Amino acid sequence: MALLEVIKDKCKGCGLCVEACPFEAIEILDNLAVIKESCTGCGACLDSCELEALYLPKIEKKPAVDVSAYQGVWVFIEHQDSQIAHVSLELLGKGRESADKLSTHLSAVLLGDDISPIIQQLSKFDIDRIYCIEDPVLRDYRTDSYVVAASSLVRKYRPEIILAGATTTGRDFASALATELETGLTADCTELDIDPEQGLLVQTRPAFGGNIMATILCPHHRPQMATVRPKVMEMPAIVDSNDAEIIQESLSLTEDQILTKIVDFIPSIDTVNLADAQIIVSGGRGLGGTENFGLIEELAEVLGAAVGASRAAVDAGWIPYPHQVGQTGRTVRPRIYFACGISGAIQHQAGMKTSEMIIAINKDPDAPIFDIATYGIVGDLFEIVPLLSQQFKKKLGK
Amino acid sequence: MHAVVCIKQVPETTEVRFDPETNTMVREGVPGMINPFDEYAIEEALLTKERFGGKVTVLSMGPPQAAETLRKTLAMGVDQAVLVTDRAFAGADTLATSYTLAMAIRKLVPVDIVFCGRQAIDGDTGQVGPGVAHRLGISQLTSVSKVKNIDWESGRIEVERLLESGIQVIESSLPALLTVVKDINQPRLPSLLRMKRAKQAEIPTWNATDIEADPAQVGLEGSPTQVIKTFSPPKRTGGQRLSGEPGEMAKELVDKVFAAKII
Ligand SMILES: Cc1cc2nc3c(=O)[nH]c(=O)nc-3n(C[C@H](O)[C@H](O)[C@H](O)COP(=O)(O)OP(=O)(O)OC[C@H]3O[C@@H](n4cnc5c(N)ncnc54)[C@H](O)[C@@H]3O)c2cc1C
Ligand SMILES: Nc1ncnc2c1ncn2[C@@H]1O[C@H](COP(=O)(O)O)[C@@H](O)[C@H]1O
């Protein structure tokens, strides 16, 4: 069976799909689209066909597990130094909504050592249950110990859905856990919903650097797992009820059974934490040198923002890699993104184009960054950026 | 020392443009390239070999044309490249892909260290590396920005991992699987001499039978996730361009930002 089917009566051989295919897997023969072996079934072509002549055939599969035996929505609580990752809280909101649609319960999964301060923080949210394992070997996140702990909970309590943040830790954890459970995992979702007919988790995510969106289901395996991009889901409301049922389990794992050992942690300075930043001020090749990043840092400081950079600036050695935004750096989604002296190549855009507000400052009126900027200023950044710092300072009374 | 590097052939990004008129990606006749993160994985394997001796094998699962991408890695200096290819592998999601790669790696043992890229730029999942590690029962060290030390005597490796909130130094037993980020090294260019030799090199291909794969666990059949729909994201269009003297534009912009009530 082919991964992609052509409805021969509908296809007119116009070739739009040929252009849309990232893998050169479609050709036109005798006015008909023909799918070649190199087709990966990615679906990038579907939307290009104006005649709706292409479809991905649904494969009829038998359920791998008894899906009705799995119930409840779980959110994996990521934490560090007794602080819950913001994305985990965001997921409690989405999780609540999904659990309500399914008329089931919402649970938080909390693994760690000395977890009472975290349970305290969780009590501010509308959660039905908290599954926890408290053990010294779980003090810091490590793949092997966390996966052993989480999979034991899953096998015992059988949730139908598990959500985790699409952070470095969340992705590391979810990938290994899904493999252990031999179930499906959708990475970096930006939308989640429950399909009203089958009650399946409808997972939507960007692919190909954000150029297409794909909607994905996991119909026959349980749990259905997804990692979710930080800052796309709304924070849940704070409640004062504090009546989540706490279910404690234990772990029979000793330190010497664990393959890894954390040696040290060097926290980054605030200006590097692009993932959590509400505002990012980024500089590119237009800055012309490392010394000029001072301008960017100054504006960032006024705004309490993180400092980002294009790859060109990083490769030139003007600023370290952790600041790089884009396809080979970080994907960010701040409320405001300032692009100063950045042309806006597709690889850069792939990492920042979902920012809420984009402000571009560039002396070239034809720079592609202006195609996506909410506000654009055509001008010399050496003149504009200090003026902005000044103006913001004044307004903020600094 | 035997290092295995998993690489993926991805559509050439510099050539892929998005056409806002037709809502499609426009490609200009290029066969694809090595996933950018995987070049760093190859380089790290080569550096490891230069330090400790041994050999480097590159592995890719993909359609027959992925052989060309593998050829480039031979020109970079890897010792051996294997293409894992079979019609039955088509349509694999990350679970099926990691199964297939793990089965292929089993054929290459002894293996001391596996390198992957942090993520592939087409699927952007970052799930395959951890999946392979888990199936092989070895530890996974993701988002590695530096290999600090490898001690073969004690069979330990120490690396730095780049997290959002800082750098974690972590130690693990070997064998281990590392997924690497761009900061880890500077990939070398293929050498001319090697390029010539690579042209003639034979790239072994392994199919499902060769790697003793269970047909139920590969390709579409072995993939729990199903893509049911794709669509173009809401188009982001350029907004407003400010005009006037620099001072006026700066003031107007600041007013607009405050009006949006973000600050
Ligand atoms: C596989 C691959 C992966 C990549 N990954 C990334 C990635 O993750 N992130 C990334 O950013 N790039 C990435 N790139 C590189 C990308 O293609 C661009 O080359 C890069 O983003 C360009 O950086 P830039 O905009 O700073 O430089 P340029 O494109 O050189 O743009 C500099 C801009 O500054 C403007 N300028 C100059 N002087 C001034 C001034 N005084 N005032 C105002 N404006 C001025 C110019 O008009 C110009 O538009 C990748 C490329 C490849 C091939
Ligand atoms: N088909 C494949 N063949 C070989 N390696 C792969 C393949 N797919 C993914 N990988 C490896 O897994 C990494 C992460 O890919 P992904 O999980 O698809 O983002 C890549 O950087 C590669 O190292």
Q: What is the pLDDT of residues B66-108, one digit of tens each?
A: 998 999 999 999 999 999 999 999 989 999 999 999 999 999 9
Cis peptide before B130 (omega within 30 of 0): no
**Residue B164 to chain A, least CA–CA distance (Å):** 6
Residues in CB range of A60: below 8 A, 6 or more apart = none
The pLDDT mean for chain A works out to: 94
User: In this predicted model, what pLDDT tens digit does every residue of A171-220 receive, in sequence order?
Assistant: 999 999 999 999 999 999 999 999 999 999 999 999 888 888 999 999 99
Q: In this structure, is residue A270 part of a structural domain?
A: no
Q: In this structure, is residue A331 part of a structural domain?
A: yes
Tokens of A18: 């040929």
Q: Are residues A316 and A244 in the same domain?
A: no
For chain A, the domain total comes to 3
User: In this predicted model, what pLDDT tens digit does every residue of B23-32 receive, in sequence order?
Assistant: 455 554 456 8
Q: Given a cut of 80, is residue A260 above it in pLDDT?
A: yes
Q: Are residues A50 and A73 in the same domain?
A: no
Give the residue among A327, B104, A290 at the shortest CA–CA distance from A307. Answer: A290
Helices (H) and strands (E) in chain A, counts: 9, 22
Residues in CB range of A24: below 8 A, 6 or more apart = A36, A38, B27, B29, B31
Distance between CA A340 and CA A306 in Å, rounded? 14
ipTM value for the complex: 0.94
Last residue of a domain, one of A254, A270, A289: A254
Q: Which ligand is nearest to the CA of A332?
A: 1
Q: In this structure, is residue A302 part of a structural domain?
A: yes
User: In this predicted model, what pLDDT tens digit does every residue of A132-171 receive, in sequence order?
Assistant: 999 999 999 999 999 999 999 999 999 999 999 999 999 9
- Scanning chain A, the segments in alpha helix (DSSP H) are 16-20, 86-101, 116-122, 143-157, 168-181, 293-303, 311-315, 346-349, 381-395
Q: Are residues A181 and A127 in the same domain?
A: yes
- HSE of B4, CA atoms in CB hemisphere, 13 A: 25
Q: Are residues A46 and A72 in the same domain?
A: no
Q: Are residues A147 and A215 in the same domain?
A: yes
Q: Are residues A43 and A115 in the same domain?
A: no
pLDDT at B52: 97
pLDDT at B80: 96
Q: Which ligand is nearest to the CA of A367?
A: 1
Write the CATH number for A51. 3.30.70.20
Last residue of a domain, one of A238, A254, A270: A254
CB contacts, 8 Å: B95 with chain A = 178-179, 182-185
Count of other CB atoms within 10 angstroms of residue A242: 12
CA-closest residue to ligand 1 atom 53: B14
pLDDT at A62: 72
pLDDT at B31: 64
Q: In this structure, is residue A269 part of a structural domain?
A: no
Instruction: Say if A215 is an interface residue toward chain B (CB within 8 Å).
Output: yes
Assess whether the C-beta atom of B180 lies below 6 angstroms from ligand 2: no
Q: In this structure, is residue A144 part of a structural domain?
A: yes
Which pTM was predicted?
A: 0.92
**Main-chain dihedrals φ then ψ at residue B237, nearest 5 degrees:** -110, 155
The pLDDT mean for chain B works out to: 92
- pLDDT band for position B19 (cuts 50, 70, 90): low
Write the CATH number for A206. 3.40.50.620
**Residue B202 to chain A, least CA–CA distance (Å):** 21
| CB-CB under 8 Å, A259 with B256 | no
| CB-CB under 8 Å, A335 with B27 | no
Q: Are residues A179 and A209 in the same domain?
A: yes
pLDDT at B26: 53
| CB-CB under 8 Å, A44 with B25 | yes
Residue span of the structural domain in which A335 resides: 279-396
pLDDT at A1: 54
CB contacts, 8 Å: A395 with chain B = 254, 258
Q: Given a cut of 80, is residue A241 above it in pLDDT?
A: no
Q: How far is the CA of A4 from the centre of ligand 2 (A)?
A: 22
Tokens of A315: 């490769």
Q: In this structure, is residue A189 part of a structural domain?
A: yes
Write the CATH number for A335. 3.40.50.1220
pLDDT at B29: 47
Q: In this structure, is residue A246 part of a structural domain?
A: yes
Q: Are residues A136 and A164 in the same domain?
A: yes
CB contacts, 8 Å: A264 with chain B = 168-169
Q: Are residues A219 and A305 in the same domain?
A: no
Last residue of a domain, one of A254, A289, A306: A254
Instruction: Say if A214 is an interface residue toward chain B (CB within 8 Å).
Output: yes
pLDDT at B141: 98
Range with lowest mean pLDDT among A324-328, B178-182, B225-229:
B225-229
Tokens of B60: 């890719």
Instruction: Say if B174 is an interface residue toward chain A (CB within 8 Å).
Output: no
Query: CB-CB: which of B122, B165, B225 is closest to A80?
Result: B165
pLDDT at A38: 79
**Percent of the residues in chain B that have a pLDDT greater than 90, as a whole number:** 79
What is the rounded average pLDDT of the residues A277-282? 96
User: How far separated are the first and last CA of chain B, in Å rounded?
Assistant: 55
| CB-CB under 8 Å, B138 with A207 | no
User: In this predicted model, what pLDDT tens digit does every residue of A79-100 receive, in sequence order?
Assistant: 999 999 999 999 999 999 999 9
Q: How far is the CA of A337 from the centre of ligand 2 (A)?
A: 30
Query: CB-CB: which of A20, A42, A175 is closest to B126?
Result: A175
3-class DSSP state for residue A147? Answer: helix
What is the rounded average pLDDT of the residues A265-290? 92
| CB-CB under 8 Å, A38 with B63 | yes
Q: Are residues A241 and A93 in the same domain?
A: yes
- Range with the largest mean pLDDT of A41-55, A239-253, A286-300: A286-300
- pLDDT band for position B236 (cuts 50, 70, 90): confident
Q: Are residues A171 and A31 in the same domain?
A: no
- For residue B43, CA distances in Å to B7, B180, B229 come to 12, 10, 37
What is the rounded average pLDDT of the residues B48-74? 95
Q: How far is the CA of A342 from the centre of ligand 1 (A)?
A: 5
User: In this predicted model, what pLDDT tens digit does every residue of B191-213 receive, in sequence order?
Assistant: 889 999 999 999 999 999 999 99
Q: Are residues A106 and A247 in the same domain?
A: yes
Instruction: Say if A71 is an interface residue toward chain B (CB within 8 Å).
Output: no
Which residue does chain B place closest to A191, by CA atoms?
B233
- Scanning chain B, the segments in alpha helix (DSSP H) are 36-52, 66-76, 94-106, 128-136, 192-200, 246-259
What is the rounded average pLDDT of the residues A281-294? 97
Q: Given a cut of 90, is residue B250 above it in pLDDT?
A: yes
**Percent of the residues in chain A that have a pLDDT greater than 90, as a whole number:** 81
Tokens of B69: 């991408």
DSSP secondary structure of B102-139: HHHHHTT-S-SEEEEES--TTT----HHHHHHHHHT-E
Range with lowest mean pLDDT among B8-12, B152-156, B231-235:
B231-235
User: In this predicted model, what pLDDT tens digit does every residue of A350-384 receive, in sequence order?
Assistant: 999 999 999 999 999 999 999 999 999 999 999 99
Q: Given a cut of 50, is residue B251 above it in pLDDT?
A: yes
Q: In this structure, is residue A274 part of a structural domain?
A: no
